[in-house]
Structure 1
Amino acid sequence: MTRAARVLLLVPLLAVLLAPPARATTDDPSPRRTTPTPPQQTAEGYAIPVTRRVTYSVVTRGRTTASLAVFRRQAQQTYDDPRGWRAGGVELRRVRRGGDFTLVLSTAGAVPSFSSQCSSQWSCRVGRFVIINQTRWQHASPAWNRAGRSLRDYRHMVVNHETGHWLGRGHASCSGGGKAPVMMQQSKGTGGCSFNPWPLEWEARAVRR
């Protein structure tokens, strides 16, 4: 082999040996900086500070068949949502027992056991008890379903509505179109207003301290 041929063979070998090491790629993103979660915002775009902290526990009444785990989780999601009573500065947190009020998942037949003013057809609030009728929780209401609204939104609405009573809000009405107040008895209809699972701004403002 000639000297020129040997040089030609050594050139690619030297290129491999002298090349910088390739960087490994991985699906593991750590360490990596994360963007902090933005504060909860109102429709006006500013953060509402917590001015009222409320605790609650969850129990059942009657032989319920709905998942209690789902009930607990979705109720807390409703309370955490910045469109809910959190927009009024109210933070609601579940505790194992006791608390400021009791959220109840009740069979329809057991709802009147809280008060003669409660109906087996609807949800109710009596004293410290915020009572969600299991039939409504599982199937919403005829008026809500006729409007084509989702079961998840109904659950937001009924938890917000009955908890709103505990927070001191009475029933509200709606006329002239627009969104219905969450304190309207939307399970029975809205009188031409649009179904709405969240407190309106003036409703949230009314519970601020």
Structure 2
Amino acid sequence: MLADPRGWAHGGAHTFHQVADGSAGLVIRIATPATTDRLCAAYGLNTHGEVNCSGGSAVMVNLRRWQLGSPRFPGPLHEYRALIVNHEVGHWLGHGHETCPGPGRPAPAMMQQIKGLLGCVANAWPYDAAGRYLSGPTVP
């Protein structure tokens, strides 16, 4: 997912590679809802057994969401999985939440799409196929 041309590594802005020696600046974990809640709570985040989070060097993916998706995301499961990773890695990179830029337009990856699309079209990727960043107005 992170190496996809529509992902955060687009245009070489960021690089990601797997390491096994503990030197990673980013660790993505898929964990049970209870473990996700516990680890996210260390960063002051309450995930209610339902959502994912990022904090410090960690991105926590809720296993329930990884396996089942979200009833509010209308796309296929593999797209929802890409959205989970792209959204939380976006936070790790310093991006805040964005909202729908207009009806019929792709939802930004940094939009909380599980809360509704507000007229946008579901989208899992930070960039489109032409390399344009898919942004929306910043959420205060």
Scaled by the length of structure 1, the TM-score of the pair is 0.56
* 1:161 maps to 2:87: yes
3-state DSSP class of the match of 2:34?
A: helix
Q: Unpaired runs of 5+ in structure 1?
A: 1-77, 205-209
> Whole-Å Cα distance in 2 between the matches of residues 203 and 128 of structure 1?
25
Matched, 1:198 2:125: yes
SS in 2 for 1:81: coil
The reply to whether residue 117 of structure 1 matches residue 42 of structure 2 is no
Tell me: CA distance 1:175–1:80, structure 2 relative to 1, closer, same or farther (3 Å): closer
Q: 2:54 matched to 1:130?
A: no
Question: Relative to total residues, which structure has the larger strand share, 1 or 2?
Answer: 1
Letter matched to residue 79 of structure 2: D
For 2:98, the equivalent position in structure 1 comes to 172
Q: Structure 2: where are the runs of 5+ without partners?
A: 136-140
Cα distance in structure 2, aligned partners of 1:189 and 1:136:
16
Q: 1:113 and 1:184 mapped to 2: Cα distance?
A: 24
Count residues in correspondence. Answer: 124
1:152 aligned onto 2:83: no
Residue identity (%): 38
Give the drift of 1:175. 4.1
How many Å apart are 1:188 and its aligned residue? Answer: 2.2
RMSD over aligned Cα, in angstroms?
1.6
Other structure's SS at 1:85 match: coil
The structure carrying a bigger helix percent of its residues is 1
Aligned mate of 1:100, from 17, 20, 25: 25
SS at structure 2 position matched to 1:84: coil
- Deviating beyond 2 angstroms after TM superposition, the runs of 4 or more aligned structure 1 residues are 200-204
Q: Report the equivalent of 2:68.
A: 139
Query: Using the alignment, how far apart are the partners of 1:153 and 1:97 within structure 2?
Result: 30
Distance of aligned partners of 1:129 and 1:166 in 2 relative to their CA distance in 1, 3 Å threshold: same
